[in-house]
Amino acid sequence: MASFGLLFICIYIAATIGYVFFADYFVEHEGASKYDTTTAYDSEMNTYCDTLANCLISTLYMGTRMGGGIGEALGKPFLTDSQYFARHLFDLVFFLVVVVYLLNIFLAIIVDTFAESRKKANDRDQRLKTICFICG
């Protein structure tokens, strides 16, 4: 439970940073590539970070599902953007902390739980085979 809380806090921090600094990258234009950030905002623009709650849901949904983290789901930054290096740093830190570190903690917890369950089942089977229930 504590690791789930840590994951949620890290994603919330990333969503807040994304909302404050990189909300312009959380867009998808209808009929165009999702990495196309050269088009101007219009009524057909699909935005995923217009409020902090929407940004949190988008970061949670897209950031944990994509293999490369949130950077894979957001619009591609261009070298001429003023936030080019900050955006790459944001993507890299999100990938390393959330995708690599925290999601692997969850995987380790799941594997450990199954290993413990298998050990209990093996111990129970061993007791059934070696202990006489009638004799005591």
- What are 13-56's pLDDT values in tens digits? 999 999 999 888 887 754 444 445 555 544 445 667 889 999 99
pLDDT the model gives residue 37: 52
Q: Is residue 80 part of a domain?
A: yes
Number of domains present in the structure of the chain: 1
Q: Is residue 136 part of a domain?
A: no
Q: Is residue 58 part of a domain?
A: yes
Q: Is residue 33 part of a domain?
A: yes
Q: Of the candidates 79, 65, 85, which has an alpha carbon nearest to the alpha carbon of residue 37?
A: 79
Tokens standing for residue 21: 């600094």
Q: Is residue 135 part of a domain?
A: no
Q: Is residue 86 part of a domain?
A: yes
Q: Which domain holds residue 90?
A: 2-130
Residue 115 has pLDDT above 90, yes or no: yes
- What are 96-106's pLDDT values in tens digits? 999 899 889 98
Residue 83 and residue 77 in contact, taking contact as beta carbons nearer than 8 Å: yes
- What are 46-83's pLDDT values in tens digits? 667 889 999 999 898 888 888 888 888 887 888 888 88
> Which pTM was predicted?
0.71
